[in-house]
């Protein structure tokens, strides 16, 4: 008894008291961890499947366009405000210079022909400078801080991103800063493949739609369905005739004390063909096989 008590495995009891085990001896915590990791894997697979579908690609594309619009608006809007004030300062400087020059020409006391010629030259110089500045005199730089007053508002920035990823490149706005141009290049590298993937998925949907329209409208699907129903009725009638012939032959064999005909070797399976010639050929084969079967049984 003492020897048996001394050989008791206290380590086994300690391992049992550490954690809870299932019927197979596996720790329950380990099972929970395996189930949790399996759930995470399934969730990731479902997420990838959704993102690679047409709806997922469309959502990714919309988010990509919105993110690009926000980035370009953040990079270019401050530069637009500074450029507007700098251009306005040059415009006011040139305007004051032209006014002083015109006043001096008028007060010079020269002849009318000379005054008119010099004023024309001064006005042409001012017009060329204004054209080079590309600054309308009625423009107010303080409106740039308003939501729709800037050239880089949400609509314009989103339109610019759409023209970039679709490789159209047409628009009245373009990045003027170095960071904006650099971001635009990387934006194209990621955006153009994304739009091509989306166009591919849309192409499959359009192909299915056009095929559906062609089959149901151009090919008169309704009339084709009527033909198929008529063929099914003929096939059903032929199968009933075969069953009646089989029952008649079995009844005749029982009355005459003859052995029953062998079991049916081949069964008729209705198949939807698109050609009447194939159906007629199938009917002919069934009829010939029926004759051979009857002849073999009578012999």
DSSP the chain: -HHHHHT--HHHHHHHHHS-B-TTS-BHHHHHHHHHHHHHHHHHHHHHHHHTSHHHHHHHHHHHHHHHHHHHHHHHHHHHHHHHHHHHHHHHHHHHHHHHHHHHHHTT---HHHHHHHHHHHHHHHHHHHHHHT--TT--GGGGGSTTTSTT-HHHHHHHHHHHHTT----S----SHHHHHHHHHHHHHHHHHHHHHHHHHHHHHHHHHHHHIIIIITTHHHHHHHHHHHHHHHHHHHHHHHHHHHHHHHHHHHTTPPPPPPP-S-------S-HHHHHHHHHHHHHHHHHHHHHHH-
pLDDT (tens digit per residue) in 124-176: 888 888 888 777 777 777 777 776 777 888 888 899 999 999 888 777 788 88
Boundaries of every domain in the chain: 28-202
- Any idea which fold 28-202 has? Helix Hairpins (1.10.287)
Using one digit for the tens of pLDDT, what is the confidence trace for 90-134?
888 888 888 888 888 777 777 778 878 888 888 888 888 888 877
The tens-digit pLDDT sequence of the chain (299 residues) is 444 445 544 444 444 444 555 555 555 555 445 555 676 777 677 666 666 677 788 888 999 999 999 999 888 887 878 888 888 888 888 888 888 888 887 777 777 788 788 888 888 888 888 888 777 777 777 777 776 777 888 888 899 999 999 888 777 788 888 898 899 999 999 999 999 888 888 887 788 778 877 776 666 655 666 777 788 888 888 888 888 887 878 887 778 877 776 655 444 444 444 444 444 555 555 555 555 555 445 55
């Amino acid at each position: 008894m003492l020897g048996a008590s001394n050989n008791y495995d206290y380590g086994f009891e300690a391992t049992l008291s550490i954690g809870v085990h299932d019927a197979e001896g596996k720790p329950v915590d380990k099972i929970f961890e395996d189930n949790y990791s399996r759930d995470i894997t399934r969730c990731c697979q479902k997420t990838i499947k959704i993102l690679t579908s047409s709806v997922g690609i469309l959502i990714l594309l919309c988010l990509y366009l919105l993110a690009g619009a926000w980035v370009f608006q953040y990079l270019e809007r401050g530069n637009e405000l500074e450029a507007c004030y700098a251009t306005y300062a040059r415009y006011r400087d040139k305007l004051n210079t032209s006014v002083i020059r015109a006043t001096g020409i008028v007060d010079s006391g020269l002849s009318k022909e000379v005054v008119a010629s010099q004023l024309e030259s001064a006005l042409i110089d001012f017009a060329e400078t204004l054209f080079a500045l590309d600054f309308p005199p009625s423009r107010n730089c303080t409106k740039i801080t308003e939501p729709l007053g800037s050239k880089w508002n949400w609509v314009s920035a989103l339109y610019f991103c759409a023209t970039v990823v679709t490789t159209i490149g047409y628009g009245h706005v373009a990045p003027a800063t170095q960071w904006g141009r650099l971001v635009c290049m990387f934006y194209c590298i990621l955006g153009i493949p994304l739009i091509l993937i989306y166009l591919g998925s849309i192409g499959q949907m359009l192909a299915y739609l056009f095929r559906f329209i062609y089959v149901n409208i151009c090919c008169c699907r309704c009339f084709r369905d009527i033909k198929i129903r008529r063929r099914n009725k003929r096939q059903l009638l032929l199968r009933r005739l075969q069953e009646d012939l089989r029952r008649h032959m079995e009844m005749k064999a029982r009355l005459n004390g003859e052995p029953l005909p062998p079991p049916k070797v081949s069964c008729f399976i209705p198949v939807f063909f698109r050609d009447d010639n194939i159906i007629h050929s199938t009917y002919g084969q069934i009829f010939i096989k029926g004759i051979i079967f009857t002849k073999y049984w009578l012999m």
